[in-house]
Amino acid sequence: SYELTQPPSVSVSPWQTASITCSGDKLGDKYAFWYQQRPGQSPVLVIYQDNKRPSGIPERFSGSNSGNTATLTITRTQPMDEADYYCQAWDSNYVVFGGGTKLTV
Amino acid sequence: EVQLVQSGAEVKKPGESLKISCKGSGYSFTNHWIAWVRQMPGKGLEWMGVIYPGDSATTYSPSFQGQVTFSADKSINTAYLHWSSLKASDIAMYFCARQASGGYREFDYWGQGTLVTVSS
């Protein structure tokens, strides 16, 4: 079965740039999606179709996807960005989530 | 405004049955797949599968096939997740999520979650 691998944790200082990676076999041939989940809350879509931001998501959030790796980049990271982040892709008609990355600001 | 509102927390005993719900509003409920996602305590997101309320077509994750049942009542814009016999290992938060219809299949709206506790 298809797997997506994320680092368990990433730390960043306020106002710096955070990068969270997601690795999977030929992931660049699929679309990558990213969700933010703050403690005690439901997930929120922050990036779809590799690099598109839903309305209401700050421009500080961006994404890329090439080869075997998708990356979520958060510039000028704020304390409010501290959360778990999950990548997701479709493998045929099945959804795969990465294990999640805890971002500490 | 698109909303998915889930039923409240449940406390059940092992072996009991349970059905939790997810009511959609603010959009055409029958035209969007609804996904169910499990999150065990302190763990990540796990996709359980999807249901299309328009015709109740379903796709189950192999990990959950035979363990749960999805259903929908389009007359009241509600999707359901059903267990016939709960186990302690079913303790988790369960989310429903709307799958966007645009072709990229992202999950653009999520319910608030339903916490299921199973204890004797």
Alpha-carbon torsion angle B42, B49, B106, A103, nearest 10: 10
User: Given this model, what pLDDT does residue B101 score?
Assistant: 86
**Which letter does DSSP use for residue A28 in this model?**
G
CA distance B120 to chain A (A): 26
Report the residue of chain B nearest A96, measured CA to CA. B47
Q: Which residues pair with B63 in a beta bridge?
A: none
Give phi and psi for A98, each to the nearest 5: -70, 170
- Each residue's pLDDT tens digit, B75-115: 999 999 999 999 999 999 999 999 998 778 999 999 999 99
Contact call for residues A31 and A91 (beta carbons, < 8 A) = no
Residue of A30, A6, A16 lying closest to A73 (CA atoms): A16
User: Given this model, what pLDDT does residue B87 score?
Assistant: 97
Alpha helices in chain A (DSSP H): none
User: Given this model, what pLDDT does residue B104 score?
Assistant: 81
**Which letter does DSSP use for residue A99 in this model?**
-
Question: Which residues of chain A neighbour B22 with C-beta distances below 8 Å?
Answer: none
User: Given this model, what pLDDT does residue B102 score?
Assistant: 77
Residue among A33, A42, A57, A87 with most chain B CBs within 10 A, to mutate: A42
Q: CA B93, B110, A19 angle in degrees (round to 5)?
A: 90
> A55: Cβ–Cβ under 8 A, 6 or more apart, which residues?
none
* Residue B71 burial (CB count, 10 A): 15
Whole-Å CA distances, B93 to A42, A56, A59, B38, B62: 10, 26, 30, 6, 19
Asked if the C-beta of B36 comes within 8 angstroms of chain A's C-beta atoms, the answer is: no
B108:A54 CB<8 A: yes
Position A51, amino acid:
N
User: Given this model, what pLDDT does residue B93 score?
Assistant: 98
Query: What Rg value do the Cα atoms of chain A yield, rounded?
Result: 13
> A56: Cβ–Cβ under 8 A, 6 or more apart, which residues?
none
Q: Can you list the residues of chain A whose pLDDT is less than 50?
A: none
- Each residue's pLDDT tens digit, A42-51: 999 999 999 9
